[in-house]
Amino acid sequence: MSKPLRVVDLTNGWAGPLGTCLLADFGAEVIKVESPSHMDWWRGAGLQGTADGPKLYEQSPTFNTVNRNKYGIALELTHPRGRELFRELVRVSDVLVANYPLRSLRKLGIDFQSLSAVNPNLVMVTLPAFGGSGPDSEYVGFGCTTEAMREWLCRWAAANAEQRHWGSRNGAEWLLCDACWSVRARSARCWGIH
């Protein structure tokens, strides 16, 4: 039996964590990386707590749903030692999934160009809200942001009595497909893909 695909999950929100969760469900070894000072904001979703009360960050049903079947590690990527450890993790991994702004990845030196020097076979899947190039590419956003800008959510809600939010789920499905296709293409070409 071959070793499982190792995926570094540098995502937060919904689409990125759900996409990497699907990879884990299909057998990939997924390692979620969070900053100890700025954990994934879904950890507190839907929870009521007080400063004096128990730490509820491990009890969020939303966070636990999209992060099941994953390992977790806390690395402070704003510090040199955190970036060094992150690069070492990427060196021994197959795929990196990130949904942080591309300018942030470049500023930290963990963009595809920098990391492919550490791991030439790296497959990197990024989920920038407004694409990887163009006038809006540096803006931060999530599924609901891009849907609102496209007026998709309004038109869909007007046509359906029950409102649902589908954009991020579609992003997660594309992430899954893109990662699987890219790993397959990498093995045929023997170099990394972004």
In the block, which residue shows the tokens 């992430």? Answer: 175
Q: Across the chain, how many H-helices and E-strands are there?
A: 8, 5
Helices (H), the chain: 15-25, 61-66, 80-91, 102-108, 112-118, 143-149, 152-159, 167-189
pTM for the full predicted model: 0.77
- What pLDDT was estimated at residue 70? 96
CA distance 80 to 108: 9
Q: How many CB atoms lie within 10 A of CB 188?
A: 6
pLDDT digit string (tens) for 50-59? 555 555 656 7
Per-residue pLDDT averaged across 65-87, rounded?
A: 95
Helical pair 15-25 and 167-189, crossing angle rounded to 10 deg: 50
State yes or no: pLDDT of 65 exceeds 80.
yes
With CA atoms as reference, report the closest residue to 96 among 77, 72, 121. 121
Contacts of 142 (CB under 8 A, 6+ apart): 13, 14, 15, 129, 168
3-state class (DSSP) for residue 91: helix
pLDDT digit string (tens) for 102-114? 888 999 999 999 9
Task: Classify domain 6-189 by CATH architecture.
Answer: 3-Layer(aba) Sandwich (3.40)
